[in-house]
Amino acid sequence: QVQLVESGGGSVQAGGSLRLSCAASGYTYSRYCMGWFRQDPGKGREGVAAIESDGTTSLADSVKGRFTISQDKAKNTLYLQMNSLKPEDSAIYYCAASPLVGPYGLSWLEGLGDEHNYWGQGTQVTVS
């Protein structure tokens, strides 16, 4: 059984930084894609960042230059470093993992195949 547990959300002033973590268990695919989505009430879900098993990363245009996605395979943990935060970054951030062999990258962030994703419970990020 796959479990994804996020942590690291909170409240921060504009221009500040936060680092989100996602501890994964039971997710044992040799080729995979994991990442972060966010959703603000009243808005649709937005793909933020993805990382593949070979280290390839993809970022939404809205966060390029500010957010970095990384992984520690030894710890089975995914990270999202968020710098220069803006009020429009406020949302619930969800960790997600694909059980499929594709699509990955920007297509996955745009929602292709997301009905199959494993999801965490979400962590709130508020930027004021």
Low-confidence ranges of the chain (pLDDT < 50): none
Integer Rg of the chain from CA = 13
What are the two backbone dihedrals, phi and then psi, of residue 111, each rounded to the nearest 5 degrees? Answer: 110, -5
Q: Per-residue pLDDT tens for 43-65?
A: 899 999 999 999 999 999 999 99
pLDDT of residue 86: 97
pLDDT of residue 113: 85
What are the two backbone dihedrals, phi and then psi, of residue 121, each rounded to the nearest 5 degrees? Answer: -85, -15
Distance in angstroms (rounded) separating the CA atoms of residues 123 and 11: 11
pLDDT of residue 30: 84
- DSSP bridge partners of 127: 12
pLDDT of residue 55: 94
pLDDT of residue 102: 85
